[in-house]
Every structure is written in structure tokens, then in C-alpha cells.
Amino acid sequence: MTHPAYLLALDQGTSSSRAIVFDDRGRIVGTAQQEFPQIFPQPGWVEHNPMAIWHSQRDTAQQVLAQCGLKPSDIRGVGITNQRETTVLWNRSTGQPLHNAIVWQDRRTEPMCQEWRDQCAEQWVQQRTGLRLDPYFSATKLRWLLDHIPGARAQAQAGELAFGTVDTWLIWQLTGGQSHVTDISNASRTLLFNIHTGQWDDELLALFDIPPAILPQVQPSVSEFGRVQNGLLGEGAGPLIGGVAGDQQSALLGQAGLQAGDVKNTYGTGCFMLMHTGSVALQSDSGLITTCAAQLQNQAPIHYALEGSVFIGGAVVQWLRDGLKAIAHSSEVEALAASVESSDGVVLVPAFAGLGAPYWLPHARGSIQGLTRGSTVAHIARAALESIALQSTVLLQAMQKDARHLANLQVAALRVDGGACANNLLMQLQADLMGLPVIRPQTTETTALGAALLAGLQQGVFQHAGELRERLATERVFEPQWSRDQAEAKLAAWNTAVHRS
């Protein structure tokens, strides 16, 4: 009787760190989670304590192994997935951070980005990186740290400092400072990486005034990133870290999104949609960004994806709960919305923080339109769920438009994950509006699963990426029930409402 191979996924998110043990069939064996504090020094600024990130991730890894009765030697490989773009700067000799991490949500560098936009640098930057000139990405956060921490720039130029996104920071700590590395998917979120050459770009480094000496080495997403220190996770030798990917790319892999035309949407506070475009880095004409999805071995082609985000997804349900007091718990929204057959002409545009892709309207504001004396809170609740599905549909249409350059690139279905995908009414609305089947997997922990699968590929637990699709069990498929005329009428009403917002 052969023992299953166990894989440890470290899932380092924006509000919590989790550790999940998977078996070699992709099933969850055990899980541990720990939240850590959010720091808001002033409006628009968001920070994390890097040591709190590290300690919470280390503690959950120790907890899940103890819970499963496993030793470090029982773990075939470790995979890491992480909140992307969040920026850490630390001292190479002490391993101590010089400042709090600046989180992906932080907007302090918007004036800096505007200066470069005014110099017409955005198109040039986008051609190389696939990204927009925005505070979201790491380069301007790193520039801010070098400019505002006394002595940091001189130390950086002398090679005394190390920069990293959260994956790099965790690997450094896990390996006791032996590995200063990142993977290609995380590197592609920094604004410093040329996604076509697969290397740090000297001209981008010059533009943002970043010393090359502080950068990590970029590796394929499946490769040897270093070995966990002996004794760190329990008695004995530490396992090898064999797979790394940013959280959204990891979710695409965890959904077996391995072929051009595969699309996944993660329904959280916002929604993140990625479309695999194969080995072609498509330059979007529709306000989307291009990102490296993964590289599955040395010398293998880089896989690319188009990405778009909806700023307000599940957060509109939180607003119904906390702002309108329409429901006491978020889970109640489905029954309330289902108590009416339609929204009866009510359209809710949740532009609480502007509108993201493909609109990019930062100054748009939320609105409820189409109200009559017959409108009830149930109609508003249904319109709120529809707003999540409508925004995601518009995003997919933009991706399909961009992908028309690829021969025979057809989207066959939408794969879904994230907390809000448990809402059956929302998933049915999504299928109806898109006119595509919506596939919900049994394991909705697809972000962590993607990291585990990468580590499994590196260790030979899986022989090839195609095995991942075979092992992914489907929980439910939502088939479209509306006519295209019905869906198009709904989308037309939505676009009118957006224009008015």
C-alpha cells in the first residue's frame, strides 16, 4: 500500500495567512488560518508589519502539520501563493524590515504616477510590462521607501538591502536568508519586469530610479526556490519550496486554467478575472492588463493572461448589510433577492470607489436607478447581485474583444471561485448574462490548490500539467437559461446606468 504524497500550500493573503495540506489527489487534508493587523497611517495609505506576515504564516504552517499528525519529512513539497504587489524592503544581514510593507491597496504614490503619465511614459511602460502606471504596482511603492527612509538609497546602492514582494519575503525567512528569489508571475506585477524578455528591465529601473542590487532573482513558477530551514516546521529536515505564484495566477492554475481561452473569475470583496492567452502576451485595447500567468519549467514558454478587476463585488452585499441595514448577515442576500422574480427595472451601479476595468472611471459614484413606488428592498438586493454579474460580464466581453487577434480562441465556460461563488442565484445570473456555462469546483480553495499543484509538478507528484484538469472535481455547472435578447436588454440597461453614473 503506497502512502499519499502530501503537499503544503502557504496562502498569504491581504488580511490573513493560511496553510493547507493537500494530498496527491488535490483533496484538503488540513487547514489553519490566522489574521493579522491592517495598518492605516493616513487616508489612502495601507500597511502591514512584515514580521506579522511572516510569524502568522510560520505559525499556521506549524499548526496544520501538527493537526494532521505530519512531520516536515512527510511533506513532498511546499507551494507559496501570495497577495501581489505588496512591497517589503529589508536589511540583508539582519533580515529586519526597514519599514512596514506598503500594501497593494495603498494610493500614496498617485502624484508620482501622474508625473510620469504627464511625461507620456504610460504607453512605453505598458508595452514592456503589460501594466498601467498606477500606485497598485510595486515600483512606485519601492521608490517611495528608498526616498523616505533615511539612508535607504545609499544602503541599497551598496547592496545591503533586499526588496521583495510577499513571496520573496516569505522565502527569505523560510530559508534563513539563503534564497532571495521570486517567480515570474510575481515579478510581472512590479512595473520593473519586461514580460517579453522575461527579465528585469534596465530602462524601467532607470525610469523609477531603482538600484538593481536590491532585486531578487527571477525563476520559473515551478523550480527550486530553496529548502525550509531544518527544525522550523517541526523536527527534522525541512521540505523544498518548489512552486510559487501570485494569488490570482495561482487561482487560474488551481482551476486547471492551462489552455488559451480558459477563464476564471474570483468573487471576493472585488472580482478578479483572468483569461489564459497561451504563449502570446496580448496588448489590451480595452483597458485590461497583461500579466505572466506562470512558467512551468526552465526554458519552457511563458504563459500569459489578460486580467481585469471589478472593484466592488461582494462588497456591495456588505453595503446592503452595513450601510442600508437591509440584511443582518451577508448569507441572507440570496433568499431576499430570490423573493422577487426580477429587479423590476431597478439598476444598482456600485461605483463606491469609482469603476475599474474596462471603464477606468475613478470619479464615478454609485447610484440606484429605475426606482418606482413598487420598488422594495428585495428589488434592490436583486439589483445588487445583478451588478456583480453585470460587471463581470462586461469584463469578459472586453477580454473576448482583445482575444479576437488569436486564431480560434473560444471561451467555452467560466470557472468560478471565491466566497461569493457559493451564492447559487448569483452564479445562475452570471451564466444567463454571459450565455456560458459557469463551473463551480468542489474545492473552492483554488488559490492554495494552484500553489500545491506547482510544488507537486516540481517534485514529480504530477507528471504534467494536464493531470491537474483530470483531478479537478466539479461541484455544479450552471447552464444559461435566458435568450441572448433578454441578456442583451439587461446589458443595455446596465450600460445606460453606468453612463449616468
Residue 406's pLDDT band, with cuts at 50, 70 and 90, is low
395-409, 412-426, 454-468: range with lowest mean pLDDT: 395-409
Position 1 scores a pLDDT of: 45
CATH number at residue 379: 3.30.420.40
Higher pLDDT, 15 or 289: 289
Position 499 scores a pLDDT of: 85
pLDDT per position as a tens digit, 255-288: 888 888 899 999 887 889 999 998 888 888 888 9
Above 50 in pLDDT, residue 297?
yes
Above 50 in pLDDT, residue 427?
yes
Above 50 in pLDDT, residue 126?
yes
**Are 339 and 377 within one domain?**
yes
**Are 226 and 272 within one domain?**
no
The mean pLDDT of 488-501, rounded to a whole number, is 90
The beta strand positions in 209-365, using DSSP E, are: 217-219, 222-227, 240-246, 263-267, 271-276, 289-294, 303-310, 347-349
pLDDT per position as a tens digit, 185-238: 999 999 999 999 999 999 999 999 999 999 999 999 999 999 999 988 888 888
CB burial of residue 51 (10 Å; 0-12, 13-18, 19+): middle
- Across the beta sheet with 263-267, the strand order is 289-294, 303-310, 271-276, 263-267, 414-417, 438-441, 474-478
Strand pairing partners for 271?
267, 310
Q: Supply 216's cell numbers.
A: 531578487
**Are 96 and 233 within one domain?**
yes
**Are 58 and 127 within one domain?**
yes
**Are 153 and 199 within one domain?**
yes
**Are 18 and 146 within one domain?**
yes
Q: Which domain holds residue 350?
A: 257-501
pLDDT per position as a tens digit, 73-103: 999 999 999 999 999 999 999 999 999 999 9
Above 70 in pLDDT, residue 409?
yes
Q: What is the pTM of this model?
A: 0.89
Query: What is the share, in percent, of the chain residues with pLDDT greater than 70?
Result: 98
pLDDT per position as a tens digit, 361-392: 777 888 999 999 999 999 999 999 999 999 99
**Are 163 and 287 within one domain?**
no
Q: What is the dihedral of CA 195, 196, 197, 203, to 10 degrees?
A: -70
Contact status, residue 358 vs residue 287, Cβ threshold 8 Å: yes
Given the DSSP bridges, would you call strands 75-82 and 240-246 parallel, antiparallel or unpaired? parallel
How many independent structural domains does the chain possess? 2
Distance CA 9, CA 61 (A): 9
CA-closest candidate to residue 179, choices 254, 242, 264, 112: 242
Residues in Cβ contact with 77 at an 8 Å cutoff, skipping those fewer than 6 apart: 7, 8, 239, 240, 241, 242, 243, 455, 456, 458, 459, 461
Distance CA 114, CA 100 (A): 24
Residue 408's pLDDT band, with cuts at 50, 70 and 90, is low
The residue count for the chain: 501
Q: How confident is the prediction for the chain on average, in pLDDT?
A: 90
Distance CA 77, CA 8 (A): 6
**Are 185 and 295 within one domain?**
no
**Are 362 and 460 within one domain?**
yes
Strand pairing partners for 75?
6
Higher pLDDT, 308 or 465: 308
Position 442 scores a pLDDT of: 85
CA 443 and chain centroid, separation: 17
The verdict on residue 246 lying in a domain is no
Residues in Cβ contact with 117 at an 8 Å cutoff, skipping those fewer than 6 apart: 133
The verdict on residue 158 lying in a domain is yes
The verdict on residue 245 lying in a domain is no
